[in-house]
Structure formats: structure tokens, C-alpha cells
Structure 1
């Protein structure tokens, strides 16, 4: 008798191992489907529009520097050639407002889709005199000359610089200009202008649109930078700020990052999306969620100042030799990105040497519009309880054998286990087509119904079949409840396992296992 019990337990354990191998194989199917869905999103990004990263607009002024030679005799063949740099003027105050309509219906490939956003972004900026003076002075100090040994031996400290004020432009960097359906409208001191694409890009690595500053604005900017009390034009006051408003329509997918620059930067975002994932180097200072979506506000002075320093130093390298890496990535959770951003913060704060800058990655923050119900993640989490479900089902069958003296063949154990595995085979394809809770309900009801009907014949009675069906249905309901409580799922799962074990121990406390027939 004991030998028969041992054989039965061995068969049950072997079946559990077999089903565990099957679950592992099915996990590879989930990974494959998830990878294919991500590849579709990448394909949509390549063909239509990428995630967007926006750098707060700033004013760029070309500067030509001509080094002077130490000796007139060597001037003919050893003088350093003239080189160009870009002086930057950042806004003293910037208020960015982003109103985004997020949808999953815009870009689709069969059952797969990319989460896209379409909205209006506005910047209200003020360029004050003191800010313009500090920007120009900082740029002059940090200007780098061509790094060649022959030139360094023949260049004196003196140099001639020409600031091309007439070529000053407002720069509006957008990482993927395909997502700008119409060129932005810019209002400068109540004068409405239309942005244009640059004929020749003077900023290495940046994709942007630009606005040529009006003559009166250039005169005002020059007066601010040179700190003149008045100019030949009596209407120009060196103490007057330059007010700029930018209305930028924008389209993108997956996530939107914003790079803050200037002295005082504030970002306000409103969207109809209910499941935002805040990303980047700073979380919002305030956020609010409602039935209509969410609102969030950012303000981080440290990152803003760091971006100012690093961006101005990069643009002031000779002959546009430094690249500004401004791209939003689909995988915003990559630890390498955060590590690189941390290095940028340290360097921009002055902890490392900026003598030779090749490329920069600025600090940004924003939102990733993640799917609120990732069917692959939820299916994978559901499968973590699969082996427990099979063990409980087999254990219930075994208790019926022990307590009620039922005779259940190993083939019947095998068929019930296969029916339990069919639940996961049904769940994933259904969840790709409909809501996850609906897929879970359909797959669970189908399997519970099939197994309940089968146990009527296996256990030999309606009452026993109803008891087993109720236990199985309760397990599915309990597991779904655990899955939907993301913050407490581990705790609830542990408590649930403890309760199940306690129930089994209570039910079998009076069984004399040595006398089982």
C-alpha cells in the first residue's frame, strides 16, 4: 500500500516537472511576441516619426576669430587660420506649456501599434539685458582655438574677434523634424514671424528650425550685450527685455523629453493619457491625475544651469567641432543612458576638464506614454502562478483519492494538467486582440468549464465536481486579484500561499498516512 502511494506521488511529481518544462517553452513564445511587437514600433519610428526631444530655444550668434602671429616673418606659413564659434544667449525666464493628445490608433501594423502623441507646445521667453551680457562674456572666455602643435607655437594671446550680429538667429531644436507638421509661429516683441529650415546647419548634431531676428531685436540684443545706456536709435533701451513666444506643433511616439536651458525654466504638461511614466533626470515637482488625464510641472534649476554651461562650451568650440547629441530613445530605461547623463551633470558642474569636447548629451526630463496594460508582461506574471495552480489541482485530486477513496488514473491527471496549460495558450492571443481582463475571463471560464465537466466523470458525482470547479474558479479569481494589485502582489501572493498550505494541513491533520489503502 505504501508502495502504491509512493508510485502515485512519483507520477504526480513527474507530471509537474513535465508541465514546468512546457511553461518554460511557452515563455519563449511570449518573449518572441514581445520582441516582434517592439520591432514593429521601431519600424514605425523609422518610417514615420521617432520619440521627440526638445531643447529650450535659445539665440545663436556666429563669431569669427582671427588669431594674431607672434612674428611677421612667420605670418605667411605658420599663422593659424580664422575659425568660427557660436555664442549663445539663453533666456532669463522660460515657461514651456505642452498640451498633448495621446492615442494608440494612429500608427498600427496589424494587431500591433505605437502609442503616439499630437499636440501644441508653446514657449514664453524673456531675454533680459544681464543674461545677454553674461552669455556673451562666458562664450568669449571659453572659446577654444584649433588644437595643432604648429599653431600653438606661433599664436600669441592676442586675437581679433568679429561678432556677426546681423546673423543672429533664434534656434528651436527638435530631434526629429518629421514630427513638426507645420513650421512654428514665433512672436518677437509683438512681431509675428515664421520659422524656416536652416540653409546650412551651423550647429553640429542638432536638427532645428530657426528664425532670423528682426533688425530692431538685433539692435536691442547688441545693446543689451554691450551694456550701452542708449544707442543711435532713441527707441532702443539697453534695460529693455526681449519677449519671445513660440508656438510649436509636434507629433511623436512613445515618449517626449525636454531639455531645460536658461536661468528660470518651468515646464507644464497636460495630457489625456492615464498611465504616464515620468522619465529623465528629474521627476515633476507636482502632478495630478484625474479621469481626463494628468497634469505635471517641472522646475529644476541645477539641471538647467548644467545644460547652459555644457551647451555653451560645446557650441563655442572652433569650427563646429563638438556634437550635441539630442535624441529621445525608445528604451528610456537603459541604465547606460542614465550613467551617461550622470557624467554630463558632473562635467557640466565643473568636476571635469572641458578642454577637448567631442560630443555632449544634455540632461532632460519628460514622460513616456507606456501602455497601461502590457499584455506580455501581464501574461508573464500570470505564468509565475501556473505551477502553483497545477500543484493545487493535482493536490485536490489526490485528496479526493485519499479522503473519498476515489480512483484517478495518471492519464486523467495528465489531461487535467493539459487543460490548465491551455489557459495560457488561450490567454496571450486573446489579450493581443481584446482587453486583458476580458481575455483572462474568457480563457479562465473556458478552462474551468471544461475541467468541471470532465471531473464530473473522473470523481463520479456532481457534488465533488462542483467542489473542485469552485476551488479552481476561486484560484483563477484570486490570482487575477493578486496581479491587479501591482504594489502588493508579492505580499498578497505570500499570504495566499500560506493560507493554502494551512488549509491543506487542517484538512489532512487526522489522516494516518501509514494506513492509507
Structure 2
């Protein structure tokens, strides 16, 4: 008898190992289908529209710089470096950004697969105070002191022509960067001092490798700045041609900023229609930046370098707001340093990509700047690549109930389900003296195994809970009908069927509680073990053997 009991337990253990191998094969099928679904979504993004990343609009002004030039005596070669161009930036003193997004899973489909897309309107309400910005630009681009700008010694006729900076105010543009302009169905409308202006695509891009639309700043706004700058440049040229004593006496004049008394703020409103897939990131710039996002999506995943300062979830969706002064100021520094590189040798890359594992953008790889250096001769050579990442934050609209993730979670309890079923059969043999053949164990195990084979393809076609209910009902019904003949009675079959149905219902309850599924699973295993120990507490295993 001992040999018979040991043989039966060995057969059950062998069947469990076989089914564990089979479950591993189903797991590989789930992984393959998941990768295929991710590749389809990536293809949709490439053919239609990518995830979006929007940099807060700012003003870019082309600038031409002539380096210091060493003028030697007649008949000798002068050491003069060629002029180079760079871009000066003006950021808003205050920005209130609003994003109203409508999220849908029905816009882009490939068979049974679909991408989560959004369509909405982005509004940037900005305020610029140009007198402060122009004063800052003047101080940054003012010529060197007269003592450095003119040298004439008795032993040498060499003269140094001072560095000259020309700011092209008439070419100032409001830059609205969007990572994928395919998502901008209509060109945005920009309202500057209550005057609507239609944005245009740049004919000659100021910024390399950055997709954006632009609006020319009206000349009347910068007219005072242009006059003052021209006046100051005239003073600089006068100082450069004066004698040493005159230059030294005029040093205080050359270091003064333009006399700008106009402190009136300029309000700029940008209405940007935007569509995208999966996620939306925003790069804040300026001095005071606030972002408010509203959407009908019920399960957002907040991504990026900062979480929202406040968020609210309702039956209609969610609302979140961000404000992070440190990240905003850091972006101002990184972006202005990059754009002011000589001859536009710094490339800003703004591109949101899909992460195949989570279908969200990797924030650290959002924006990269490739910098260069300028030699003494004025030429620019590529320096060792230095990655500069601008700070961004946003929302990923990944589906909260991913069918592949839920099927994978359900499979984690598969072996426990098989063990409980085989253990129940074994207890019927021990307690009720039923005779169950190993082939019958095998058939019941196969029916339990088929549940997962049915669950995955059904979940790809219909809602997961419906797929789970159909697959579980089919398997429980089949096994219940079969155990009526195996156990030889309707009462025993009903007990086994009710136990199996309770297990499936319990496992589904554990799957639906995402935050506590591990805790509930551990408690459930403890309860099952306690039930088995209570049921077998009075069995004399030596007598049975």
C-alpha cells in the first residue's frame, strides 16, 4: 500500500511538472503577441503621428558676431577671424499653459490592435517684458572696454578692432516647437496685443533639426529696441576710433545700457491644435510657468522629471497642474546656451518615442544637445559629444488594463490552481475511497490548461473580464460534467465544481486589485493551506498507507 501511495504522488508530481512546462510555452506565446502588438503600434506612429513633445514658445533673434581683429602695419598680414552667427533668446516672464485633451482608442487601428490617441487644444498665454530682455541682451553683447578695444604703443602700429555684435531685430521670430508637426492639423493662431496672426512654416529654419512653426514679431513692438540698439552701436564705434585718453574717459558711457523706459508688458496668446499617440510631454521655459491639463482619460500615468503639484480625478476624467521653477530655469539656461553656439553648431533634438515595454516615452532621452567649440580663428569644430537633457513632464495614456499583462498575471496562479484540483482529487481518493486513474488526472489538468489557451485570444477580441468569464465557465462546466462520472456521484461533482469555480472567481478578484494583488494572493495561499490542514487534521496517514 505504501508503494501504491508513493506511486500515485509521484505521478501527480510528474503531471504538475509537465503542465508547468506547458504554461511556460504559453508564456512565450503571450510575450510574442505582446511584442507584435507593440510593433504594430510603432508602425502606426511612424505612418500617422508620433507621441508629442511641445517646448514652451520663446522668441529667437538672429545675431551676427564679428570677433576681435588684429590690424597690423601696412604690408603685413592682418589676423582677422571671419564673422559668425548665433541666436539670442527671449523667454516669457509669465506663461499659463492649458491643455484640453480628448483621448480615444478607436482612431488608429490595425486589425485587433489599436493605439491610444489624443486630440485637443493647447493654449499658451504668455507675457513678455521686452525692456528687461533687451537690457540683458545689450549687456551680454556690449563691446569690450575701451582699454581692451584700442591699443597703440610707440613700438608698434598694431591695432585691435573690437568685437562687434549686430542683433537683427527685424528678423525676430516667435518659435513654437512641436516634435511631430503631422499632429498639427491647422497652423496655430497667435494673438499679439489683440492682433491675430497666422503662424507659418519656416522658409529658412533658424534652429537646426528642430521642427517648429514661427510668427514674425511685429516691428512696432521692437521699434524702440532697434532705435536704442542702433544708438548704442554708434557710441561703440565712436569709442573704438577715439584716442586712448578719450576712450578711457568714455568707458562709463560704453558700459551703460540703452535708455529704455517702456515697461509695458506684451501679451501673446498661442492656440495650438494638437494630436498625438500614447503620451504628451511639455518642456517648460520662461520665468513663471504653470501648466494645467484636462482630459477624459481615467487612468493617466504621469511621466517626466516632475509629478503634478495637484491632481483631481472625476467621473469625466482627470485634471492636473504642474509648476516647477527649478526645472524651468534650468531649461532656460540649457536652451539659451545651446542656441547661442557659433554658427548654429548646437543641435536641439526634440523627439518623443514609444517605449515598447510600457508604450511611453523615456523622459531622459527626450532632448539632446550636441555642442561645438569655436577656435581663436573663428572656425567651429565639433567637440566631444555632450548630452544636455531638457527637463520635461507630462502624461502617458497607456491602457491600464493591458490584456497581455493581465493574462500573464493570471498564469502566475495557474500552477496553484492545478495543485488544488489534483489535491482535491487526491483527498477524494483518501477520504472517500474513490479510485481515480492517472489518465483522469491528466485529462482534468488538460482542461485547466486549455483555460489559458482560450483566455488570450478571447481577451484580444473582447473585454478581459468577459473573456475570463467565458473561458472559466467553459472549463468549469467541462470539468464538472466529467467529474460526475469520475467521482461517481452528483454531490461529489458539485463540491469539486463549486471549489473550482470559487478558485477562478477568487483569482479574478485578485487580478482586478492592481495595488493589493500580491498581498491578496499571499493571504489566499495561506487560507488554502489552512483549509487543507483543517480538512486532513484527523487523517492517519500511516493507516491509509
| Same fold at TM > 0.5 | yes
Following superposition, the deviation at residue 461 of structure 1 comes to 0.3
Once residues 437 and 414 of structure 1 are traced to their aligned partners in structure 2, the CA distance between those partners, rounded to angstroms, is 28
Deviation digits for residues 26-77 of structure 1, max 9, x if unmatched? 0010001000110011101110110000000000000000113224369967
2:174 matched to 1:173? no
Q: Which residue number corresponds to residue 20 of structure 2? A: 20
The match for 1:391 among 415, 419, 424 is 419
Q: Which residue number corresponds to residue 201 of structure 1? A: 205
1:407–1:65 Cα change, 3 Å: same
Once residues 271 and 159 of structure 2 are traced to their aligned partners in structure 1, the CA distance between those partners, rounded to angstroms, is 46
1:396–1:454 Cα change, 3 Å: same
Q: Which residue number corresponds to residue 190 of structure 1? A: 194
Aligned pairs for 1:141-290 (under 5 A) are: 158-219=162-223, 222=226, 228=258, 238-290=262-314
Q: Which residue number corresponds to residue 234 of structure 1? A: none
Following superposition, the deviation at residue 372 of structure 1 comes to 2.1
1:209–1:125 Cα change, 3 Å: same
Q: Which residue number corresponds to residue 33 of structure 2? A: 33
Q: Is the 8 A contact 2:189 2:196 kept in 1?
A: yes
Q: What is the aligned residue count?
A: 490
Once residues 475 and 510 of structure 1 are traced to their aligned partners in structure 2, the CA distance between those partners, rounded to angstroms, is 25
Following superposition, the deviation at residue 325 of structure 1 comes to 1.8
Following superposition, the deviation at residue 242 of structure 1 comes to 1.1
Q: Is the 8 A contact 1:79 1:155 kept in 2?
A: no
Following superposition, the deviation at residue 338 of structure 1 comes to 5.3
Q: Which residue number corresponds to residue 470 of structure 2? A: 442
1:336–1:157 Cα change, 3 Å: farther
Q: Which residue number corresponds to residue 468 of structure 1? A: 496
Q: Is the 8 A contact 2:70 2:79 kept in 1?
A: no
1:158–1:164 Cα change, 3 Å: same
Following superposition, the deviation at residue 335 of structure 1 comes to 12
Once residues 357 and 221 of structure 1 are traced to their aligned partners in structure 2, the CA distance between those partners, rounded to angstroms, is 37
1:430–1:137 Cα change, 3 Å: farther
1:130–1:388 Cα change, 3 Å: farther
1:167–1:497 Cα change, 3 Å: same
Q: Which residue number corresponds to residue 352 of structure 1? A: none
> Which segments of 5 or more consecutive residues in structure 1 lack a partner in the other structure?
142-153, 231-236, 345-354
Following superposition, the deviation at residue 228 of structure 1 comes to 4.9
Following superposition, the deviation at residue 224 of structure 1 comes to 9.4
2:323 matched to 1:319? no
Q: Which residue number corresponds to residue 8 of structure 2? A: 8
Deviation digits for residues 394-427 of structure 1, max 9, x if unmatched? 0000000000000001111111111001111111
1:483–1:166 Cα change, 3 Å: same
Q: Is the 8 A contact 2:210 2:350 kept in 1?
A: yes
Once residues 431 and 105 of structure 2 are traced to their aligned partners in structure 1, the CA distance between those partners, rounded to angstroms, is 54
Once residues 155 and 438 of structure 1 are traced to their aligned partners in structure 2, the CA distance between those partners, rounded to angstroms, is 86
Once residues 130 and 512 of structure 1 are traced to their aligned partners in structure 2, the CA distance between those partners, rounded to angstroms, is 95
Q: Is the 8 A contact 2:183 2:274 kept in 1?
A: yes
Q: Which residue number corresponds to residue 147 of structure 2? A: none
Q: Which residue number corresponds to residue 400 of structure 1? A: 428
Q: Which residue number corresponds to residue 144 of structure 1? A: none
Superposition RMSD in Å: 2.6
SS in 2 for 1:181: coil
TM-score (norm 1): 0.90
> Which segments of 5 or more consecutive residues in structure 2 lack a partner in the other structure?
143-157, 233-256, 370-382
Once residues 5 and 342 of structure 1 are traced to their aligned partners in structure 2, the CA distance between those partners, rounded to angstroms, is 67
Q: Which residue number corresponds to residue 54 of structure 1? A: 54
Once residues 139 and 426 of structure 2 are traced to their aligned partners in structure 1, the CA distance between those partners, rounded to angstroms, is 80
Deviation digits for residues 124-170 of structure 1, max 9, x if unmatched? 000014651465258649xxxxxxxxxxxx99793111000000000
SS in 1 for 2:292: strand
2:120 matched to 1:124? no
Q: Which residue number corresponds to residue 304 of structure 1? A: 328
1:224–1:461 Cα change, 3 Å: farther
Once residues 410 and 281 of structure 2 are traced to their aligned partners in structure 1, the CA distance between those partners, rounded to angstroms, is 33
1:90–1:156 Cα change, 3 Å: farther
Once residues 335 and 51 of structure 1 are traced to their aligned partners in structure 2, the CA distance between those partners, rounded to angstroms, is 8
Following superposition, the deviation at residue 184 of structure 1 comes to 0.3
Following superposition, the deviation at residue 357 of structure 1 comes to 7.2
2:467 matched to 1:416? no
SS in 1 for 2:187: coil
SS in 2 for 1:360: coil
Q: Is the 8 A contact 1:188 1:243 kept in 2?
A: yes
1:45–1:139 Cα change, 3 Å: farther
Once residues 424 and 463 of structure 2 are traced to their aligned partners in structure 1, the CA distance between those partners, rounded to angstroms, is 32
1:76–1:256 Cα change, 3 Å: farther
Q: Which residue number corresponds to residue 350 of structure 1? A: none
Q: Which residue number corresponds to residue 99 of structure 1? A: 100
Q: Is the 8 A contact 2:360 2:398 kept in 1?
A: no
Q: Is the 8 A contact 2:303 2:363 kept in 1?
A: no
Once residues 52 and 417 of structure 2 are traced to their aligned partners in structure 1, the CA distance between those partners, rounded to angstroms, is 44
Following superposition, the deviation at residue 323 of structure 1 comes to 1.0
